[in-house]
Homo-oligomer: A and B are copies of this chain.
Amino acid sequence: MNKIKKICYEPIGYICTEHKDPNQVPVQPIYAKGFKGYVKLRPEFVAGLEHLEDFSHIFLIVHMHLKKEKKLKVVPFFHNKEKGIFATRSPARPNPIGLSLVRLEKIEGNKIWVSDLDLVDGTPVLDIKPFTKQLDSRQNTRDGWVDQIDPEEAKRKGRRQIK
């Protein structure tokens, strides 16, 4: 099989939020409740948004552009023991792709307003997909070290500076 060795994308847009400092951005959408921002979509893609507003939640697939360091083992933000990078959501991964499941508020032209946003201003957006509970939710799962997290502590820690 002739394997593809390199894959290049152009961003379809960029994240606009008040958070310029990655150390102040909340970690994970569920700890970013109510925090708003928008995707500024490249104008040539606006026709691709038709019917998206009928969905309450969307996936943003982004390039975590600020993370330069790559590691195979990390101590996760919400835990205290080292794990393999693929068992975490850390941005220090071989390909720093981020997956954020956010709430869609409204679409105004090329601005896709969302809340529960855990991304820093200027983050390049690679793709937007509708979330549906039918296709994308699972209930009977084993969640590894994430099951050991204290929810209250994670909420406080994940939310960071946001009131």
Which DSSP category, helix, strand, loop or mixed, fits chain A's interface? mixed
Residues of B within 8 A of A82 (CB): 50
Closest B residue to A101 by beta carbon equals B136
Closest B residue to A142 by beta carbon equals B56
B9 touches A99 (CB 8 A): no
B126 touches A132 (CB 8 A): no
**Is A113 on the interface with B (CB-CB < 8 A)?**
no
Alpha-carbon separation in the docked complex, A30 to B124 (Å): 30
Residues of B within 8 A of A11 (CB): 3-5, 7
**Is A162 on the interface with B (CB-CB < 8 A)?**
no
User: How many protomers of this protein does the assembly include?
Assistant: 2
User: If A11-B7, A63-B7, A135-B146 touch, does A54 touch B97 (CB 8 Å cutoff)?
Assistant: no
Least distance between A48 CB and chain B CB atoms (Å): 4
User: If A54-B144, A144-B130 touch, does A95 touch B12 (CB 8 Å cutoff)?
Assistant: yes
Alpha-carbon separation in the docked complex, A96 to B85 (Å): 24
Alpha-carbon separation in the docked complex, A93 to B126 (Å): 10
List A residues 75-98 near B (Cβ within 8 Å). Answer: 82-89, 93-95, 97
Closest B residue to A83 by beta carbon equals B51
Alpha-carbon separation in the docked complex, A124 to B9 (Å): 14
Alpha-carbon separation in the docked complex, A61 to B100 (Å): 13
Interfacial residues, chain A to chain B (CB-CB below 8 A): 1, 3-12, 14, 28-30, 45, 47-52, 54-57, 59, 61, 63, 65, 72-73, 82-89, 93-95, 97, 99, 101, 121-122, 124, 126-147, 149, 151
